[in-house]
Structure 1
Amino acid sequence: MIESLFSTTLTETLTIQTALSVIFAALAMGLFISFVYTRTRGKDGYSPGFVVTLIMLPMIIAIIILLVGNNVARAFSLAGAFSLIRFRSAPGDPIDISYVFFTLAVGLACGMGYILYGAIFAVILCTVMVILNITKYGKPKVKNMQLKITIPEDIDFQDCFDDILKHYTVSHKIQRVKTSDFGALFEIIYCICLKDDVNQKEFIDKLRCRNGNLSIVLNTEIIDEKVYI
């Protein structure tokens, strides 16, 4: 009896009842995964479109697997059709990418008829994600920031801000220096870690007095400025 629960629900002939059961099972799991995603990613923010994608993906993958079945010709035709689709996008958050693969796996399990396996997998992995979110596993205790300071070309950037940075930060390091406005200005990019309870406005005001009130940008997260084509 127990073994029959874990066997595939598909038969040699695809019926409306079987297809509907697979589609609604994939929909329910997609809704469950998206709910867990919104609860665990609420503080960091998320895209509403991505939440809808998490609901749709299991159904899409499940219906594709249902239609392909064991037909090799259909599988190759499907691969050729998807190879024609090209899109460009900036790399997303690794956690978001893992959720995409998560929903793909659940949709694949449902499409193959192993609905109970897919449900167990979804429950286990969602439980793990909730536990990791509650325990804040892997999150650094100290948060690095990125500081961009623009200075005139006649200022020595190497030691200009060391005394201020030592006073307000736990650590600081120059990541990159570049020129702008045909060499009239320098832009120094630091990776810094502010001390606890530092007044950021006071910190920026000190820097403004030193750089002639030119542009200063303090990013709460280090941004990778690679160019993707």
Structure 2
Amino acid sequence: MNSLIEQESLFTLLNGTNSFTINNIIFNIVITTILALFIYFVYKKTFSGVTYSQNFNITIVMVCIITAIIMMLIENNLALSLGMVGSLSIIRFRTAIKEPRDIGFLFWAIAVGLSAGTHKFIIAIIGSIILALLLLIFNKTIYFDYCYLLILRGSNIESKDVSDILGEYKIPSKLRMKMTKDFFVEITYEIKLKSIEEDLLIKSLKSIENIEEVHIVSYNGEVSG
């Protein structure tokens, strides 16, 4: 008996079903939730920005499950699908998504929801595994060099003094931004820290005259300003 149930579950997972029962609906939502949590884990594991948003990651899970529910509601009903499109068109999204990578995760969640809602579980599973592997590989190789932003604030800061200290510690650096206003100066460098502790670097930089603030921030490849 258990073997028969397992075979039926495997058949449903691979081929889907043409009709909805309570068991089918529960099965669809359970599989969708598992895949949504998988996306949640991958997003958290590969996040490389400055501030991780737990709310956004939970939203990804919600979008995935809601999309699957909508697809089960629509099914093959053309009139219902047109009505659903009309209803959704009145929604206005006010929150701006600054990270292009976050948009990709939203599309991933929607794609999984569409696949699960139309019984194409195998597409959602294989696609999710491939995407996760690619993201883990890219995350490991792109940020291997430990990139950071070094932000210095003060009055009349001499760039040469900063360059001398960075050169002394053999820290690769690139000037990204220099802003001056009256006697106030803010300089931003892209640096790579491998064998030196951040506290030691900060202590050395603060020894430079006129430097009031030293900030080291995780760098994801983009500078605003």
| TM-score (ref. length: structure 1) | 0.71
Amino acid at match of 2:75: G
**1:141-177 deviation per Cα after TM superposition (whole angstroms, max 9, x unaligned):** 3222211222324x5x343323212112432222111
1:9-158 to 2 correspondences below 5 Å? 9-11=17-19, 14-35=20-41, 40-41=45-46, 47-83=53-89, 84-92=91-99, 94=101, 96-123=102-129, 125-126=131-132, 128=133, 132=137, 137-153=140-156, 157-158=158-159
Cα distance 1:93–1:163, how it changes in 2: closer, same or farther (>3 A)? same
Deviations 1:81-137 (A, max 9, x none): 33322121342472x5444333322221121122344344445555x369738xx64
Structure-2 residue corresponding to 1:161: 162
SS of aligned partner of 1:56: helix
Residue 214 (structure 1) aligns with = 212
Structure 2: 5+ residue stretches without partners: 1-6
**Considering only aligned residues, what root-mean-square deviation do their CA atoms show, in Å?**
3.7
Counting aligned pairs with the same residue, the percent is 24
User: Residue deviations 1:13-44, cap 9 Å, x none?
Assistant: x5444433322332233344445655x44998
Structure 1 gap ranges (5+): none
Give the counterpart letter for 1:147 in structure 2.
L
Amino acid at match of 1:186: V
- 1:86 aligned counterpart, secondary structure: coil
CA distance in 2, matches of 1:162, 1:33: 42
Q: Do the aligned partners of residues 218 and 31 (structure 1) sit closer, same or farther apart at CA in structure 2, a change above 3 Å counting?
A: closer
Cα pair 2:115 2:121 within 8 Å, conserved: yes
* SS of aligned partner of 2:172: strand
User: Whose relative contact order is higher, 1 or 2, with alpha carbons under 8 Å and at least 6 apart?
Assistant: 2
CA contact (8 A) 2:46 2:135 kept: no
Q: Which amino acid aligns with 2:153?
A: T
CA distance in 2, matches of 1:51, 1:17: 28
Distance 2:97 2:164 in 1: 38
In structure 2, the CA distance between the partners of 1:209 and 1:115, relative to structure 1 (3 Å rule), is closer
CA positional deviation for 1:79: 2.9
- Inter-CA distance 82–204: structure 2 relative to 1 (3 Å threshold): same
Alpha-carbon distance in structure 2 between the residues aligned to 1:149 and 1:112: 54
* TM-fit CA distance, 1:222: 5.3
Q: TM-score when scaled to structure 2?
A: 0.72
User: For residue 201 of structure 2, what is the amino acid of its counterpart?
Assistant: F
Q: Is the 8 A contact 1:10 1:112 kept in 2?
A: no
